[in-house]
Amino acid sequence: MRSTVTSSATDFAADFGHTWSFMDLPHFDVKPTIVQKVVDPFVDLGHLVILDRDNIEGDVSQNLLSRARNNAQYLYNKIWELNRKHVEEAVMAELPNSSFILPREKKVFDEATKEWKPSYGYRRGNDDTKDWLIEIPDNAGTLTLGNPLFSIHHESCACLDPNKDYFAERVEKKKERVAKNETQ
């Protein structure tokens, strides 16, 4: 007996009279979930990072694709080995503390305070915005045109103007940087 169900709302029709065999089902290239590694990779589950130290041999592009898939599967397997808890309708893995500390920034040595400080941002090291004195070069207002023997004193040389307010220029540059950050 053949029965057909049709729904006009979704335009869906199903034929329940046909029996599906295994040969009728679409076949997919199923990859294994257990990954064999020559050298065990370093896994930091706190940061969800895997570092694979195997050598790359043969076709580089194909090898990298298979490696990316295998390393992701290896990381998923390690995550599923962790303790899990159920939150509402989801299953969550409890990640451990990280195995190593990622360097977030490189600090610079501040000569004035004799300590290491961040290279940018609040309380940065070697901060030139707090200088109480800005040195004006000796050749201010002089245009050399590439030859130190030939120099012209001219008002159009604005880059080295001795009467320019360099403190106000510094404040303007900072305002431009802040405005640029706000637009990004």
Report d(CA 184, CA 168) in Å as an integer. Answer: 25
> Closest by alpha carbon to 140, among 149, 151, 127?
151
Contact 115, 128 (CB under 8 A): no
Q: Which two tokens stand for residue 69?
A: 């898939």
More confident residue, 29 or 10: 29
Asked if pLDDT for residue 2 goes beyond 50, the answer is no
Question: pLDDT for 74-133, tens place per residue?
Answer: 999 999 999 999 998 899 999 999 888 877 778 889 888 899 998 888 888 887 777 888
CB atoms inside a 10 Å sphere around CB 49: 15
Asked if pLDDT for residue 14 goes beyond 60, the answer is no
Question: pLDDT for 34-67, tens place per residue?
Answer: 888 888 899 999 999 999 988 888 888 898 998 9
For the entire predicted model, the pTM comes to 0.46
Report d(CA 128, CA 120) in Å as an integer. Answer: 11
Return the HEC string of the chain: CCCEEEECCCCEEEECCCCCCHHHCCCCCCCCCCCCCCCCCEEECCCCEEECCCCCCCCHHHHHHHHHHHHHHHHHHHHHCCCEEEECCEEEECCCCCCCCCCCCCEEEECCCCEEEECCCCCCCCCHHHCCCCCCCCCCCEECCCCCCCCEECCCCHHHCCCCCHHHHHHHHHHHHHHHHHHC
Asked if pLDDT for residue 18 goes beyond 70, the answer is no
> Closest by alpha carbon to 160, among 146, 148, 142, 134?
142
The pLDDT, as a whole number, for residue 75 is 93
What value does the mean pLDDT take over residues 13-22?
A: 58
Q: How confident is the model at residue 22 (pLDDT cuts 50, 70, 90)?
A: low
Domain ranges of the chain: 29-102, 108-183
Q: How far is CA 113 from CA 105, 107, 116, 124, 179, in A?
A: 19, 14, 9, 11, 30
